[in-house]
């Protein structure tokens, strides 16, 4: 399905034919950051594979997350060309490819029908219009409406919570995606040489967006268990820095020497027009018989940055900007303490973002409070934690800052200096506190430098700016004012590197 019109036409035909139960439910659960990979993007991903795979008729290919069937269709096109010499007869070539080489596991009833139509030109593989005659309607594209398997109220395969929106009976799709819900004995019997696809990115339990948990990493882990020769996926780049449910996965990926190439798009709309995916997306090639450094390429719009071959595990975060590596190495060469060691917890004073039990009346029994887009006064007795901060000057930044993939990027909003006898809600975190107001002012100016925000930028993949994103930022003395020029001088940043930083970070 190359465009929205063709997708709508297919939905209409399926509805009229009565082939999809609860079809609106199916469509609603295919979120915009999960579906309809453009064919030109699929071709870029397939280009990472070595040329010889297109001439090897013995390979078995799998798309474990079929949506429209576009991966299998583009693979079929290439194999139809690559296997001409071995199978001069076109019909026999197609029969071998479709029956013996291409396999898919669909995400839902709807995507199974869409994928079969895309690959076989018929929603039923044994239908009259199918170009690959199978004995069954499914052909090699399967779908099974599996249940979640719960232990202590959590699905042992995908983490879905028992009793959630997706905890359904057999009459409705549970989104217990087949590939990651395979039983161990099933995994042992499956053998594929090349596994490619665009897996679902998150599993929503029916709550708000914050309750959605990442799920794409389960597909990658499962694919590795099958021990293919090659693997290629396109997934969100949030794993670069870890975070919710992804810290262990990040560590696995950074230490995986089989990842040969990785192409990163900080702005996901460069891959999926009109779709916003915080932190961008990336696709990579994993090769079983390769062990070495990874070639990383970053693409912003029409600007494809020069690739760089380097270790993924040089830092505890995957640094997506190759040009930043020499700069970061210079900063770290001085072995200075970093700010992540002094930044406060997510709730410096134990008050949630939605805390509203305060007013505009000040008196000696109250502290000033900095809350979401407002200030007020809260009784001192309401504050049970963070008391070491209360009587100091505090430099605050919102926990959620700019999360776009725009270049140049502002990275952070303007800091706020909170005076002694003040507190804040979870909306803010305390970057550092001081006994001296002038030091707090100097630190606020330090934050505004491009140099400071550039180092945060290297760790900050999404809007979230908790302590870990400051782990590259030196905790410098604040007995004088720091400017970009002084910082560039301190770390021996060359004129070209200075221009690069300025090209990436907006002036505040």
- Residues 452-481 have pLDDT tens digits of 999 999 998 777 788 999 999 999 999 999
Query: Would you state the structure tokens that stand for residue 238, as one six-digit string?
Result: 């949030």
Maximal CA-CA distance, the chain: 91
Mean pLDDT, rounded, of the chain: 89
| H or E element that contains 388 | helix 387-390
Give the residue among 484, 479, 491 at the shortest CA–CA distance from 507: 484
Whether residue 1 is predicted with pLDDT greater than 50 in this model: the reply is no
Query: Would you state the structure tokens that stand for residue 411, as one six-digit string?
Result: 């990275």
Report the pLDDT value the prediction gives residue 462, as an integer from 0 to 100: 76
DSSP string, 159-190: -PBTTSTT---TTS-----GGGG--HHHHHH-
Query: How many whole angstroms separate alpha carbon 363 and alpha carbon 378?
Result: 10
Report the pLDDT value the prediction gives residue 359, as an integer from 0 to 100: 96
Report the pLDDT value the prediction gives residue 403, as an integer from 0 to 100: 58
Report the pLDDT value the prediction gives residue 404, as an integer from 0 to 100: 62
More confident residue, 85 or 14: 85
Give pTM, 2 decimals. Answer: 0.86
Give the residue among 491, 242, 169, 460 at the shortest CA–CA distance from 340: 460
Contacts of 352 (CB under 8 A, 6+ apart): 425, 426
Report the pLDDT value the prediction gives residue 273, as an integer from 0 to 100: 87
Cβ-in-10-Å burial (0-12, 13-18, 19+) of 18 comes to exposed
For 109-122, what is the mean pLDDT? 94
Report the pLDDT value the prediction gives residue 168, as an integer from 0 to 100: 81
User: 144-155: per-residue pLDDT in tens?
Assistant: 988 899 999 999
Give the residue among 244, 237, 239 at the shortest CA–CA distance from 299: 237
Q: Which residues pair with 396 in a beta bridge?
A: 416, 430
Report the pLDDT value the prediction gives residue 172, as an integer from 0 to 100: 79
User: 12-30: per-residue pLDDT in tens?
Assistant: 444 444 444 434 344 434 4
Pick the CATH number of 25-144+191-322 from 3.40.50.150, 1.10.10.10, 3.90.550.10, 3.40.190.10: 3.40.50.150
Report the pLDDT value the prediction gives residue 4, as an integer from 0 to 100: 38
For 339-349, what is the mean pLDDT? 95
- Using only the alpha carbons of the chain, give its radius of gyration: 26
DSSP string, 409-442: B--SPPPEEEPSSEEE-TTEEEEEEESSHHHHHH
Whether residue 193 is predicted with pLDDT greater than 80 in this model: the reply is yes
Per DSSP, the three-state class of 180 is helix
* Residues 28/34, Cβ–Cβ less than 8 Å: no
Report the pLDDT value the prediction gives residue 423, as an integer from 0 to 100: 98
Percentage of residues in the chain having pLDDT higher than 70:
91
Strand 230-236 relative to strand 194-197, pairing = parallel
More confident residue, 160 or 444: 444
Q: Where are the domains of the chain?
A: 25-144+191-322, 339-504
Whether residue 415 is predicted with pLDDT greater than 80 in this model: the reply is yes
Report the pLDDT value the prediction gives residue 164, as an integer from 0 to 100: 83
For 178-186, what is the mean pLDDT? 91
Report the pLDDT value the prediction gives residue 211, as an integer from 0 to 100: 57
């Amino acid at each position: 399905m190359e465009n929205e019109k063709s997708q709508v036409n297919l939905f209409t035909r399926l509805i009229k034919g009565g082939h999809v139960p609860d079809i609106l439910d199916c469509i609603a659960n295919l979120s915009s950051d999960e579906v309809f990979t453009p064919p030109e993007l699929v071709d870029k991903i397939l280009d990472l594979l070595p040329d010889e795979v297109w001439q090897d008729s013995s390979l078995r290919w799998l798309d474990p997350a079929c949506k429209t069937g576009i991966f299998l269709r583009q693979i079929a096109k290439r194999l139809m060309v690559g296997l001409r010499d071995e199978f001069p007869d076109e019909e026999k070539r197609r029969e071998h490819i479709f029956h013996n080489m291409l396999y898919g596991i669909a995400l839902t009833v709807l995507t199974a029908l869409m994928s079969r139509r895309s690959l076989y030109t018929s929603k039923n593989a044994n239908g009259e219009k199918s170009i690959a005659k199978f004995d069954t309607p499914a052909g090699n594209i399967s779908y099974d409406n599996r249940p979640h398997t719960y232990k202590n109220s959590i699905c042992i395969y995908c983490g879905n919570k028992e009793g959630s929106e997706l905890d359904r009976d057999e009459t409705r799709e549970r989104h217990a995606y087949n590939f990651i819900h395979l039983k161990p004995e099933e995994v042992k019997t499956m053998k594929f040489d090349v596994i490619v696809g665009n897996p679902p990115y998150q599993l929503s339990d029916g709550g708000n967006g914050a309750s959605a948990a990442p799920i794409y990493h389960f597909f990658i882990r499962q694919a590795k268990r099958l021990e293919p020769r090659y693997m290629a996926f396109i997934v969100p780049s949030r794993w670069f820095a870890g975070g919710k449910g992804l810290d262990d996965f990040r560590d696995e990926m950074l230490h995986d020497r089989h990842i040969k190439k990785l192409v990163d798009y900080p702005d996901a709309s460069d891959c999926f027009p009109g779709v916003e995916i915080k932190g961008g997306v990336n696709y990579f090639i994993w090769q079983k018989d390769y062990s070495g450094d990874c070639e990383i390429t970053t693409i912003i719009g029409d600007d494809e940055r020069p690739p760089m071959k380097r270790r993924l595990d040089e830092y505890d975060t995957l640094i997506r900007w190759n040009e930043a590596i020499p700069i970061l190495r210079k900063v770290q060469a001085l072995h200075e303490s970093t700010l992540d060691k002094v930044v406060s917890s997510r709730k410096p004073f134990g008050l949630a973002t939605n805390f509203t039990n305060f007013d505009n009346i000040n008196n000696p029994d109250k502290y000033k409070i900095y809350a979401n887009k407002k200030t007020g006064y809260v009784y001192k007795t309401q504050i049970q934690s963070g008391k070491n901060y209360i009587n100091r000057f505090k430099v605050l930044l919102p926990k959620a800052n700019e999360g776009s993939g725009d270049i140049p990027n502002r990275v952070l909003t303007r800091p706020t200096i909170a005076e002694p006898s003040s507190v804040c809600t979870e909306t803010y975190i305390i970057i550092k506190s001081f006994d001296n107001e002038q030091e707090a002012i100097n630190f606020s100016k330090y934050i505004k430098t491009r140099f400071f925000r550039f180092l945060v930028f290297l760790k900050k993949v999404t809007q979230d700016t908790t302590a870990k994103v400051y782990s590259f930022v030196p905790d410098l003395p604040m007995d004088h004012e720091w400017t970009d020029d002084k910082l560039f001088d301190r770390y021996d940043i060359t004129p070209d590197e200075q221009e690069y930083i300025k090209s990436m970070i907006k002036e505040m």
